[in-house]
Amino acid sequence: MNSFDKKIKTRLSMHPEMLRSILAYPNEETLTTLTRYQVFESKGAYLGHLLTSLLPQWEYIACEGNEYLGKVIRNLEKTQISPIQQESDFLRANLLRIRVLTETPGTFPFSPLTIQENLFRFLEGADLVADLPQLAVIHFAKDELRPLAAELAQYRLSPLSRRYVQNLFHQERQEAILANLAYLCKNYPLLSTCRQAYALLLSLDNIENWSRHPFCLRLVSNRFWEYRSKEIL
């Protein structure tokens, strides 16, 4: 890195607004700039506050399908974005949703802002989205569900079982669920379902609460009753 590059790198580290202007609306030059000046790799370059301020704008351009934003987020996923664990978990959950939205083909047939402003209204009955055939690809092995069989049959889960359910939603499964919801947002023929799918995406921003989310519990329950109907469990 020559002296000019070092100077730019220092400015980006010391002046967050410069970095913010680069990240605000990613384009084909953004990744080149970030890589050239090693912004994400810089020691102590914790981006938590900056990324939190960018989330609303990134949500909007993700719904537009900005492909470069997804690439920026994939780079962010490889680095430490905050020294505060709670902030880091919050950001990573939101960045995952935003990346999935950017990487999902299709366009939004509605205004995302309407859902964001009326989230609880659109979440009413949204757990039924779990019954759609598009979500049948979310697979839980029978051995995973066997420890829950007695309680699922009674439609009741103990606190210990809920912790077990939380562990079922590992990172790969989380991304698969979000990807299927993002596809429904942009491509399902029924507008009300598109809106509910996006509302679900927004409501799943706290991964630690998935074991209590009605939609997630319905996914688990549906797979259980499929096995039970075949007398497997």
Identify the pLDDT of residue 75. Answer: 87
- Phi first, then psi, for residue 116 (nearest 5°) are -60, -35
Q: How far apart are the first and last CA of the chain?
A: 61
pLDDT recorded at residue 68: 93
Per-residue tokens: 121 = 């209204």
- Listed by start position, the domains of the chain span 1-103, 109-233
- 194/26 Cα distance (integer angstroms): 26
Give the model's confidence band at 230: pLDDT under 50 very low, under 70 low, under 90 confident, else very high: confident
Burial of residue 164 (number of CB atoms within 10 Å: 0-12, 13-18, 19+): middle
For residue 14, the model assigns a pLDDT of 44
Structure tokens at 157: 């889960």
**Which stretches within 77-229 are classed as H helix?**
85-103, 112-117, 119-123, 142-145, 149-153, 159-168, 171-187, 191-203, 214-229
Summarised one tens digit per residue, pLDDT across range 105-153 is 988 999 999 999 999 999 999 999 999 999 999 999 999 999 999 999 9
The predicted-structure confidence for 21-65, as pLDDT tens digits, reads as follows 888 999 988 888 887 767 666 544 567 888 899 999 999 999 888
* Mean pLDDT of the region 194-208: 94
Whole-prediction pTM value?
0.87
List all residues 6 or more positions away from 191 whose beta carbon is below 8 Å from its beta carbon: 109, 110
